[in-house]
Amino acid sequence: MTDPMMEDRQEKFSGTKEVADAHRFDAKKLEAYLAERIEGFQTPMEVRQFKGGQSNPTYQLVTPNRKYVLRRKPPGKLLPSAHAVDREYRIIAALHPTGFPVARPYLLCEDESIIGTVFYVMECVEGRIYWGPLLPDCSPKERSAIYDAMNETLARLHTLDYEKLGLSDYGKPGNYIARQISRWTKQYQLSATETIAEMDRLIEWLPAHLPPGETSSIVHGDYRLDNMILHPTEPKVLAVLDWELSTIGDPLADFTYHLMQWQMPPGGGSAGTQTLLGQDLKALGIPSMDEYVAMYCRRTGRATTPNMDYYAAYNLFRLAGILQGIVGRVRDGTAANANAAQSAAAVRPLAMAGWEFAKRAGAAG
């Protein structure tokens, strides 16, 4: 079982490259800064840039005794509230002592004179990153175990006590979905490059039909297979990555965003737009969406996951807004991923699919 598009994405997004001209900085200045502040830091230091990392440029720092990872805000014009690497650092620093799988954080630097923007440094976790959901080099048994581990990790996140972790002010409990709709509506409109009627309909319908009974937990905001590092040989999550969109929010919104892997229209080539639709999941060893939902409910003590059509419409809208933001950054010259332009082709199909779910949830067609 091979998929040329999946293999192409695996090649495009995996590993490191020379640092792009737009993302270069004074490596010697950084080296001196880190040598003074990270215990055991050895010089000389080589800087490479990861091919992946759509939003915040991400670098590998190679030293004689270990590797580190640096995440920074991109230089240039930025959308409001985007690229919050300081928030990423805070959540990782809170989660790491609990044993939740995140990279060990070393330091946050808010002094923009060092490399030109705010950045943080964490450990470099060695393992596997899959850029598509089909796991082509795994057996059905391995795929099943990896999906189980992915499910368990998210359920674990949603059951952590954020107040005990000192994260009471990390977000505003309640009204998460309403605030998310407002945020991504604004970012979509700031980045829009064409008129998409279904997106306009979703912008009008979603905030008028919010589901009742919202609860609050830590949410990742972009939880998917390519935002985690798996053990090199075992079906185990070693580190969940890319916490830029994390906050205190509705765990069902977070979980149902993750479920889009089973629901998205086919044909997307950018990160986060690959789909399991149309695949023989049983033969692959991948759980069906219903089976995956049941696993999550069992682990979190839920009886059901209500309002699934609404959540699907909301999450497809949200992803369309996120990807349109990437299109806007391509336009403005601040996109960190060389393949980010592919995101443009995914926005309209996502909006159209979102509106179909909205109609299933009661929207007038």
Q: What is the pLDDT of residues 212-231, one digit of tens each?
A: 999 999 999 999 999 999 99
Residue 254 token pair:
């977070």
pLDDT at 83: 65
Query: Peptide bond before 44: cis, by omega within 30 degrees of 0?
Result: yes
Quote the number of domains for the chain: 2
Provide the terminal-to-terminal Cα distance of the chain, rounded to the nearest Å: 39
- On whether the CB atoms of residues 223 and 242 are closer than 8 A, the answer is no
Is residue 226 one of the residues assigned to a domain? yes
Cα 12–chain centre separation: 18
Is residue 323 one of the residues assigned to a domain? yes
The rounded mean pLDDT for the chain is 91
Domain shared by 56 and 157, yes or no: no
Cα–Cα distance between 360 and 125 in angstroms, integer?
A: 42
pLDDT at 2: 46
pLDDT at 1: 44
Cα–Cα distance between 246 and 30 in angstroms, integer?
A: 27
Domain shared by 22 and 81, yes or no: yes
Residue 187 token pair:
């970012």
Bridging pattern class, strands 237-240 and 228-230: antiparallel
Ranges of the chain whose pLDDT falls below 70: 1-13, 52-55, 77-83, 267-273, 330, 333-341
pLDDT at 51: 85
Of 123, 154, 184, which marks where a domain is finished? Answer: 123
Say if residue 2 is exposed, middle or buried (CB neighbours under 10 Å; 0-12, 13-18, 19+). Answer: exposed
Is residue 308 one of the residues assigned to a domain? yes
Domain shared by 320 and 266, yes or no: yes
Residue 134 token pair:
């089909």
Domain of 256, in residue numbers = 140-360
Residue 321 token pair:
């807004």
- On whether the CB atoms of residues 131 and 46 are closer than 8 A, the answer is no
Domain shared by 172 and 76, yes or no: no
pLDDT at 139: 97
